[in-house]
Structure 1
């Protein structure tokens, strides 16, 4: 089985982080600059848990600061493909330390997911996920990222630089 989710904890103790628009230059910065700051807020707040499991490892060694950033920037593109009924894509955990590539391939009415490790860790064999289940996992992941961003750092979540990224 493969699972990827964001979990909000310690809701009462969350302090909102405010970063003004003047922190970013519209001509020079893009959505990645905003995503970097959001993931940094998630990490510093210790209120968000980025959980990935599967392929023989119950909890992957991932964090919000670096690994979530590399994943979340890919999610709108993946959701756009899935909305067009295209279930062939890759999700790259390319950050040093984790270095895993998930390859999603449509097979009949399911999606075959293969994990390729670029470290000495050896993943279990490929798994199969129902299309609806896969879509739901990615939608929940994306929705939770936006929701938790709104809770922790609304100025970043609503920033104009994220508009194109949100569209995929």
Structure 2
């Protein structure tokens, strides 16, 4: 199973239910890490799905509310680094996940190394993905996540979405769709 990730936003009914629940005021609207955790927590209360897998395991069974936030936290840096041809790392620190993904671009390919800090052993420990394919997955995740957050929790999206979408280059598309909600 090659390394893959995707996000499916909530259904319209789940969006309506989530919007009916008041969102607590943001403590720090400038802290992207904090916003990523809050955003994933709000989306976890919907029927949205995040799938990630690879290195011999098709589905890593990520919890949307916390496990996904570790990936979303590193997504802007990953996109920027890949576009610059630089190495990047995402630390998937949540308990039970505890692995690090290292992305090393080489030409039009990216060498992805998975290092586990649990008893789970990635097999293989290294996978190769096309650079355009990986950037496409990143941009889709940024766009789909941002659209879902904009629909469910506009106050959080207003602070978090610019950082996420600017890195992915999807800011204008999100702005146009957000205006429709």
Shorter-chain TM range is 0.7 to 0.9
Considering Cα pairs closer than 8 Å and 6+ residues apart, tell me whether 1 or 2 has the greater RCO.
1
Q: Which residue of 1 aligns with 2:92?
A: 93
Aligned CA-pair RMSD: 2.2
**TM alignment of 1:3-14, pairs within 5 A:** 3-14=4-15
Q: Report the TM-score, using the length of structure 1 for normalisation.
A: 0.84
CA distance in 1, matches of 2:101, 2:76: 16
For the 8 Å contact 2:40–2:64, the answer to whether it is kept is yes
1:48-87 equivalent positions in 2, closer than 5 A: 48-86=48-86
Residue-pair matches, total = 162
Aligned ranges 1:12-161 → 2 under 5 Å: 12-15=13-16, 16=19, 17-19=21-23, 23-25=25-27, 30-45=31-46, 47-86=47-86, 88-125=87-124, 126-159=126-159
- SS of the residue corresponding to residue 97 of structure 2 reads coil
Given that 2:142 and 2:164 are in contact with CA atoms closer than 8 Å, whether structure 1 keeps it comes out as no
The DSSP-based 3-state class of the residue aligned with 2:68 is helix
Shift of 1:119: 0.6
> Structure 1 residue 153: deviation in Å?
1.0
Q: 1:9 to 1:162 in 2, by over 3 A?
A: closer
1:85 to partner: Cα distance: 3.1
Shift of 1:108: 3.9
**Contact 1:8–1:49 at 8 Å: present in 2 too?**
yes
**Which runs of no fewer than 5 residues in structure 2 stay unpaired?**
168-181
TM-score, normalisation: structure 2: 0.79
Asked if the contact 2:82/2:88 (under 8 Å) is kept, the reply is no
Larger proportion of helix:
2
Contact residue 34 and residue 162 of structure 1 kept, 8 A: no
Contiguous gaps of at least 5 residues in structure 1: none
